[in-house]
Amino acid sequence: MNDVSNNNLKFIDLFCGIGGFHQALHKLNCKCVYACDTNKDCRDVYENNYKIRPDIDITKVKPENIPDFDILCGGFPCQSFSNAGKKKSFDDKRGKLFDHIIKIAKSKKPKFMFLENVKHILKIDNGTVFQYIINNVKAAGYYINYSDDPYNTIFQLSPHQFGIPQQRERVIFVCIRNDIYDKKNTIKMSIPQVPINLNRILETDRNITKRYKISKEIEKVLNCWNEMIQKIHTNQKMSPTILCDEFQNTYTDDEFKLLPKWKQHYITRNKTIYNKYKIHWDTWYAKYKDLLSKRKIYNQLEWQAGKKKENDSIYNYFIQIRQSGIRVKRTKYFPTLVAIVQTPIYGKEKRYITPRECARLQAFPDDFILHTNDKIAYKQLGNAINVDVIHKVMKETLKAYKFI
C-alpha cells in the first residue's frame, strides 16, 4: 500500500541494480523517469518488474538528455570501499562513478539526492573519501551535514533496527538543494522498536526448500565437525578460527616467522583447545583426514556462536562455507548478505537460504520477480539496498519538507 494518495515527484535511479530505491519511492507514489545500470541481468530484472529498460553506462549519458526530475537516488558502487572488496577507494574506477552523480546534479538540479554506501566509507583513507563526497555535494549546491545535532542529514542504519533479522549497516546521504533547505524542517529519524522475527523471513513450503539442500559432501563435512563438537565441554570457548590441519605440524622458529601473521596468531591460540582435547582431536582427525583434505577450507572452523552450550550442535546455527573456512553464527540474525556468493546455510534444515528469503531480508515484496538463475539472484540481492531502510529515510525527508 502506498503512503500517499497524490504526489507528482519524479525520480531517476542511478546504479539501479534491481530497484531497491524504486521500491521505496513507488510506495511514496513517486514516478521513475530514468534508470541506469551497467549489468544486463539487473537491467532485465528491472524491466521485468517496472517496465522500464535502464540505460547502460552513466559515463556516456548527457545530463541534458535525462528527463527533468525531482529526486536523484543512487547506491553508487561500493566494492571500492567495502570490506568484501579491496578498499581501493578512488584508485578503483568504480570509486570515481560518484563524480557522474555530481555532474548530473549540477546540470539538472533536483530537489533532493538520496545516496547510499557501506559504513566503511566514513573512515577509508582517514576520512578523505567521505570528505570528498561532502565537499562535492556542497559544491553542487546542496545542504548536507554529518553531526549529532538536529540538522544531521547523513544516517547510518541497518535492517535489524526495523525488525528484519539482518545486521547490515549502510550510510545514507540526504542532500537537500540549498534554495529549499530550511533548518526548521529537521528530519526526525525515530527508529521503531520492532521485535526481531526469523519466521517472517523463512520459507515454509517444503516443496521449495528441498531444492536448496546442501550437497552430500558438505553434509558429511558438517557431520564430521559436529561429531567433534560433541566432545567439547559445555561453556568451552571455541574461538578464534580452529585450524585442525595445523595441530600436528611442527615449525622451527624461523619457519614459524615466515607464516602469515594471522596464521601465527591462530596456531598459537589453538594450542589451548588442542592440548585440552588432544586424544579426541587426534582420533577424530585420523578418522576424517581424507574428507577434510578435499578442500583446505574444510579444515577450518570459525565458531562465532559463543561458548559451547549444553547439547549443542553445529546445526543449531547459520553456517557459511567461506574462503576463510566454515563459519558458524548465532541465529538471532541471518548472516549479512553480500554480492560475493557465500549463501548462508540454515542449519536446522541443512539447506541454503532461498533467493526469496534473501529478497525478504532486503524487504522486497513476495511478488517481486527474481532472476531465474539463483546464483545471479543471490548476487543481485547481496548488492541491493534494503527497501525498508531507505523508505524510512525518504519518507521522513519528504514529510519534513511537506511533499507528503
Cα separation, 46 vs 53, in Å, equals: 7
Measure the CA–CA gap between 125 and 344, rounded to whole angstroms: 31
d(CA 397, CA 73) in angstroms, rounded, equals: 13
Q: How many CB atoms lie within 10 A of CB 341?
A: 11
Lookup: cell for 33: 523517469
Q: Which residues of 246-280 are buried (b: 16+ CB within 10 A; e: fewer)?
A: bbeeeeeeeeeeeeeeeeeebbeebeebbeebeee
Distance in angstroms (rounded) separating the CA atoms of residues 307 and 374? 35
> For 398, what's the count of Cα atoms within 13 Å in the CB-facing half-sphere?
25
Of 32, 78, 244, 358, the catalytic one is 78
Is the four-CA dihedral 58, 60, 62, 65 of positive or negative sign? negative
Cα torsion 257, 261, 263, 265: sign: positive
Q: Which residues of 186-211 are buried (b: 16+ CB within 10 A; e: fewer)?
A: ebeeeeeeeebeeeebbbeeeeebee
Whole-number Å distance between alpha carbons of 214 and 145: 47
- What are the angstrom distances between the C-alpha of 370 and each of 135, 231, 356? 38, 43, 8
DSSP annotation of 166 reads B
> Does 175 participate in catalysis according to the annotation?
no
Amino acid identity for residue 157 in this structure:
L
Catalytic residue list: 78
